[in-house]
């Protein structure tokens, strides 16, 4: 199974999921024309990956902008990680934001609220 590397565009984030380091990064801006189409391969890869991984998984999310469709996707993603965390996988999610950006912090807090049993960190850049 390969790593997942999707180059960032103006409206979609960089996806860098690395099996060796077990670091999964989503960086940039997310407002693709069709969110479902964009994130399908992401979910597919995750499904396969999560069953095989034993070590700690670090998920770094650094989005300076995301639209409503993307926020739904993010919630699904965090739900996914929460479920697997409850099943025993060691998963850490880092919501990375710029210290100047109060709004980004608030969004992180919103997401954190719904996944209480997931290790969800708000990290200042």
Partner 1 sequence: MLSKEELLIQEYENFLNLREQEGLPFSSKEVSTLLKAYKRSTKQLNKIIKISDKQQDELKEVSETLNAKSLKVQSLLDNAEQGFLSFGDDFIIDAEYSKECNRLLGPALEGKDISDVLYLQDGAKKHFFKEALINVVNEESELIKDSMISLLPNEVIVNRRAIKVDYKILTNKTFMIVLTNITKEKLLEKKIEKEQEILKMIVVIVSEPTQFYELKDDFERFAKNKRVFVNPNFSFKINLNELYRDIHTFKGNFSQLRMQNCVKELHNLESKLSVMNTDENCTNQDLLDILNTSDMNEWMDKDLFIIKEILGIEFFDKQYKLEVDDKFIFNIEDKITYLLQADNQHMNTYEGILNEINKARGTTLNTALSIYPKLCQEIAKVQNKRVSDFKVIGGEDILTPMHFKPFIKSLVHIFRNAIDHGIEHPDERVEIGKKEYSSIVCLIESNKDNFKIIISDDGAGINLEKLKDKVLKAKLFTEFELSNMSESSLLELVFIDSLSTNDEITKLSGRGIGMGAVKSEIEKLSGEIKIESKQGEGSKFILKIPTSLHGTLINIASNERDNITVEYILSPVVNRATTYLQSDMKINIRNKATFSYVLINETSIKDYCSYIHISGLVDVSVCISYDQFLLDKLLNEFNQGYPIKKEDLAEYRESISKEVINIIVGNALFNPYDKTVLEITTPYILEYDELVSHSTHHKIAHVIIDTEYGEMQILVGKF
Q: Which of 4, 6, 23, 75 binds partner 1 (CB under 8 A)?
A: 75
Q: Which of 5, 7, 86, 103 binds partner 1 (CB under 8 A)?
A: 103
Question: Is 36 an interacting residue with respect to partner 1 (CB under 8 A)?
Answer: yes
Distance CA 20, CA 79 (A): 24
Question: Is 44 an interacting residue with respect to partner 1 (CB under 8 A)?
Answer: no
Locus of tokens 């590397």:
5
Nearer to partner 1, 107 or 120 (CB): 107
Compute the half-sphere exposure of residue 16: CA atoms within 13 Å on the CB side of its CA: 12
Q: Which of 1, 2, 33, 68 binds partner 1 (CB under 8 A)?
A: 68
**Distances from the Cα of 83 to the Cα of 33, 50, 59, 86, 97, angstroms:** 28, 11, 15, 5, 25
Question: Is 106 an interacting residue with respect to partner 1 (CB under 8 A)?
Answer: yes
Using alpha carbons, select from 111, 108, 119, 31 the residue that is nearest to residue 75. 111
Binding site for partner 1 (CB under 8 A): 36-37, 40, 68, 71-72, 75-76, 103, 106-107, 110, 114
């Amino acid at each position: 199974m390969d790593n997942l590397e999707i180059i960032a565009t103006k409206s979609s984030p960089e996806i860098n999921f690395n099996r060796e380091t077990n670091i999964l990064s989503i960086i940039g801006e997310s407002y693709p024309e069709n969110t479902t189409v964009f994130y399908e391969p992401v979910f597919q890869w995750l499904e396969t990956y999560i069953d095989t991984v034993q070590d700690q998984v670090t998920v770094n999310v650094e989005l300076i902008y995301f639209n409503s469709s993307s926020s739904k996707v993010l919630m699904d993603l965090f739900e996914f990680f929460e479920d697997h965390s409850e099943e025993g996988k060691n998963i850490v999610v880092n919501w990375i934001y710029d210290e100047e950006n109060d709004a980004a912090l608030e969004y992180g807090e919103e997401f954190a609220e719904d996944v209480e049993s997931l290790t969800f960190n708000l990290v200042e850049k």
